[in-house]
Amino acid sequence: MLGAGGAGFARCLRARTQAWLWGSRGGALALARSAGAPGPGDQQPSGGRGPRGRQFSLSAAAVVELAPRPLQPYLRLMRLDKPIGTWLLYLPCTWSIGLASEPGCFPDWYMLSLFGAGAILMRGAGCTINDMWDRDYDKKVTRTASRPIAAGDISVFQSIVFLGVQLTLALSILLCLNYYSIALGAASLLLVITYPLMKRITYWPQLALGFTFNWGALLGWSAVKGSCDPSVCLPLYFSGIMWTLIYDTIYAYQDTRDDALIGLKSTALRFRENAKQWLSGFSAAMLGALSLVGVTAGQTMPYYVALAAVGAHLTHQIYTLDIHRPEDCWDKFTSNRTVGLILFLGIVLGNLWREKKTDETKKNIERVEN
């Protein structure tokens, strides 16, 4: 009986102690939970943590997070944590390199590697220039207020020095190409510098971005062949511009409210509720130009199968788009990497198929002659 009474007293004392602790620490605990700290009943992440206690991940954002802290603002300035822009700059280069390959051959891996490194550097340089121009605007937009220059993590002088480093490295890559390509690549620098300003003066800054981001459709072919073939390169360049109008208009719908308040322009503000009609028109123009590319480049069935898949992807992307939901706009925007990869795969397979058809044709000719 004494034991039972002692146990009851212990339970009562423990309950009163917990009540006192919760009463005195409740405000602090609530504040900690609102800041993201786990409270009672919150599940703790388990395993897979790195040396700093963060969850292990192979994503680009995680790589930036694990970099030395002084480097992180520079890596975020060049958007290394958000590689979708690099993909969208790089993919037109791969299309052009693939189309320029000899029948039956894979694309030149050396060229693909050079252009991949160049895409990282030039996209980073473009973002640095953009953030220097837009630092005062970025502070007023929720989505961009944390960018390194706007947030004060990097000064304008430091940005200029970093820009110089990126452009120097990009130039060293450009100098690995033929003279025609060096001149053609250097000509794109004017576009890289001026396109961030277009949102101040026109509702079509996405068109300026298209001219800039798809320069690789010209440069990739010239790097392999020594010069551009207008019958292939120009419709390929045009199709890339139409593609940029699609994905960057979708991207711009994330910021329509903020852009309208601070006086910036975009195709999203120009099209308003008519986005799907405009995007459908751009898609039709893109697919038409790519069909012309296939004909002039002598492409085969796998290419046109890929083109049909691209058309289906764009159709789904546009007609399920909710322009009033920023998260949906972001998802649709990032899905365009898949569009570019499908087309690149179609080009590669179509090029390999060309050799197969050529061999069969030669055998038929030899049989007739014999």
CA-based nearest residue to 223, from 186, 181, 183: 181
Extents of the domains making up the chain: 68-355
pTM for the full predicted model: 0.80
- Count of CB atoms within 10 A of residue 332's CB? 23
Please give the full DSSP string across 196-249, using - where no structure is assigned: GGHHHH-S-HHHHHHHHHTTHHHHHHHHHHSS--HHHHHHHHHHHHHHHHHHHH
- Encode the chain (370 residues) as per-residue pLDDT tens digits: 333 334 443 444 344 434 333 333 333 333 233 333 333 333 333 333 443 444 445 688 888 898 999 999 999 999 999 999 999 999 999 999 999 999 999 999 999 999 999 999 999 999 999 999 988 888 888 788 889 999 999 999 999 999 999 999 999 999 999 999 999 999 999 999 899 899 999 999 999 999 999 999 999 999 999 999 999 999 999 999 999 999 999 999 998 998 898 889 999 999 999 999 999 999 999 999 999 999 999 999 999 999 999 999 999 999 999 999 999 999 999 999 999 999 999 999 999 998 765 555 555 555 555 5
Torsion of CA 293, 295, 297, 298, to 10 degrees: 150
**CA–CA separation, 133 vs 264, rounded Å?**
13
- Count of CB atoms within 10 A of residue 370's CB? 5
Does the domain at 68-355 match CATH 1.10.357.140? Answer given as: yes
298, HSE (Cβ side, Cα atoms, 13 Å) = 12
**CA–CA separation, 214 vs 208, rounded Å?**
10
DSSP state of 177: S
